[in-house]
Amino acid sequence: MGRSLAAGHHVCLGADSQALRAHGLLGVLETPDAGSQSGRGSRCGLWRTWRRPCAHCLGGKPPPDPSGRAQHQGLHGPGRRHRGPGRGPPGRLTPGVAPCLLFGPSNNQKEAGGPAVAKGGTPKAVFHAHPFPKRPTLRVSQPPDFRSGNDPRMKDPHKSAPLTVAVAGLGTVGVGTLRVLSDQAALLARRAGRPIVVTAVSARDHNRDRGIDLSPYTWFTDPVTMAREAEADVVVELIGGSEGAARATVEAALEAGRHVVTANKALLAHHGLALAQKAEAADLGLFYEAAVAGGIPIIKALREGLAANEIRSVQGILNGTCNYILTTMRETGRDFDDVLVEAQDLGYAEADPSFDIDGIDAAHKLTLLASLAFRQPIDLAAVSVQGIRHLSALDIRFAGELGYRIKLLATGERRPEGVDCRVAPVMVPLDSPLAPVEGVYNAVVTEGDFVGRSVFQGRGAGAGPTASAVVADLVDLACGRFAPTLGVAVADLEQVGTNAAPCAPAERYYVRLTVLDRPGVFADIAGILRDEHVSMESILQHDRDPGETVPVVMILHETDETPLARAVSRLASLETVVAPPRVIRIGRC
């Protein structure tokens, strides 16, 4: 095989997993050219192929097909004529013919006019006189020694030019990003094929102690000026917010011809389509892996890993603060307000937690996931959003008794009449992959037409996970890998400029009423449900306390939102119902 490479022939490796055990692929590629004084490896074409020789190409007859089906169908399937020597790729291997190594034509074959045969009459290897089809190949002039970490490409002045980076925003994630780039510099250079170097940073307070040495970097007080003037190929925006400095910095970077990496879900939820158009027009990358679910690579998975699928639905736990609060309420039996204070003390919740606990943060992330999954820009204003403020420890206890856990879910589903996007607390069955996701962890579940269900889980926030996602985007840029912001070109998006359609299907619901324990209460409740065509599946009441208030839980059969809303409004107006009804959707997975 090494001699064939030295002679300039292309080589196709068969399916035998033992073929290269002795020397390895790199050992073969390092074979010196026979006529070379320098000893450098020969230039060779390297590709992955599933084409194998068939008995027809060997000049013999194919063996009987053990399945009894028609024998020897060519590479292109039944009914297509086999392409012989000199007319394209060889045929597919008929069952019973072992795969082997393919080499260019040898002198033995040319003289004998057929394949080389061992003494026992078995072909040693198969030699095809006709060439392989032309296709893009990976050219290796001097293969890198990855085993020792000595990559010769790093010594090539044309390939070793670093990817230069300017970082705007030095909060938790910004400092975390600088640490990852510094601590993992050698690893990242090997994986990216060139160094990734920070040249400039920007933040409001230059004198603040951030626990990291900033002296190697050019300091800019104004991030917009940095985006325009810094010596950088990429601007990393970690300021946050949908307007102001964050938006101006990203726009300035794109206008200056620089790629952008951001963790700013609010900016993209409000202005993602316009920014994607700017990046596409300038042939630049706009990366945002860190904007959704922290260290979980869900953006890359939807855009690339699941590209062969029509995504039917995407749902997930996208806010670690809410998931921590709900987990702690279930484990300790404490009420919402008490656990919220604890989350703030631990740094899991902001001083003003409304962005998280009212579902806005999850809605921003859902907008990005749904746009990418369904190739349709989603208007944030069209997303139905409900937070967790109204949940009590009593609801969580009842959910456990009924075989559920309450999670704040962000759900996007494609339906014939449109895309439905909503954020709300949901009672998740215990056998759902989302039920065991606890604490500050995030998870995303997708449904594709070919792949089926895929589950992604990991840390959804924090310096390490988010910085890891930022750096992953930088590595892609350093390698020259980038795709359209929303998975397809803006011109190819479906229903451009339209809103998500509010088209939720009939669902089952949990309804909790706080009522006075007196005769006739259930008759009044049943009458209202009957009038609104809402069917009750079961009812749960633990204790009786005549004349006092007691909780009553109803599980409703599948019903539409409109009649349910009318029924709940009428129930709330009853004299015997002393607190607003609590309604929670029951999930299907």
Asked whether 460 and 296 are in contact (CB, 8 A), the reply is yes
Report whether pLDDT(230) > 90: yes
Q: What is the pLDDT of residue 386?
A: 94
Closest to 587 measured CA to CA, from 323, 313, 339: 313
Other CB atoms within 10 A of residue 78 CB: 8
Query: Which residues contact residue 547 at a Cβ distance below 8 angstroms, ignoring those fewer than 6 apart?
Result: 516, 517, 518
Where in the chain are the domains? 1-143, 155-287, 309-459, 507-586
Which 3-state string (H, E, C) describes 410-422? Answer: EEEEEECCEEEEE
On the question of a common fold for 309-459 and 507-586, the answer reads no
> What burial letters (b/e) apply to 420-439, b meaning 16+ CB within 10 Å?
bbbbbbbbbeeebbbbebbe
pLDDT at residue 468 is higher than 70: yes
Task: Write down the architecture of domain 309-459 according to CATH.
Answer: 2-Layer Sandwich (3.30)
In the predicted model, is pLDDT for residue 42 greater than 90?
A: no
- Give the single-character DSSP code of 153: G
Summarize pLDDT for 340-395 with one digit per residue, the tens. Answer: 999 999 888 888 999 999 999 999 999 999 999 998 888 898 899 999 999 999 99
The string of pLDDT tens digits covering residues 533-563 is: 999 999 888 776 666 888 999 999 999 989 9
Cross-strand bridge partners of residue 427: 406, 586
CATH architecture of 507-586: 2-Layer Sandwich (3.30)
Q: What is the mean pLDDT of residues 521-531?
A: 92
Q: What are the φ/ψ torsions at residue 474 (nearest 5 degrees)?
A: -65, -40
**What confidence tier does 235 reach under pLDDT thresholds 50, 70, 90?**
very high
pLDDT at 124: 40
pLDDT at 548: 80
Does 418 have pLDDT greater than 90? no
Question: CB burial class (10 A; 0-12, 13-18, 19+) of residue 502?
Answer: middle
Q: Give the per-residue SS3 of 376-404.
A: CCCCHHHCEECCCCCCCHHHHHHHHHCCE
Tens digit of pLDDT for each residue in 140-192?
Answer: 334 444 333 344 433 443 456 999 999 999 999 999 999 999 999 999 999 99
Is CATH 3.40.50.720 what the domain over 155-287 is classified as, yes or no?
yes
- The three-class DSSP label of residue 6 is helix
Q: Which residues form the catalytic set?
A: 365
pLDDT in tens, 204-229: 988 888 889 998 999 999 999 999 99
Tokens of 155: 């010594």
Report the amino acid identity of residue 11: V
- CA angle in degrees (0–180, nearest 5) for 288-290-296: 120
| pLDDT (0 to 100) of residue 9 | 58
Which residues are CB-neighbours of 206 under 8 A, at least 6 positions away? 219, 221
Rounded to the nearest integer, the mean pLDDT of the chain is 78
Predicted TM-score (pTM) of the model is 0.72
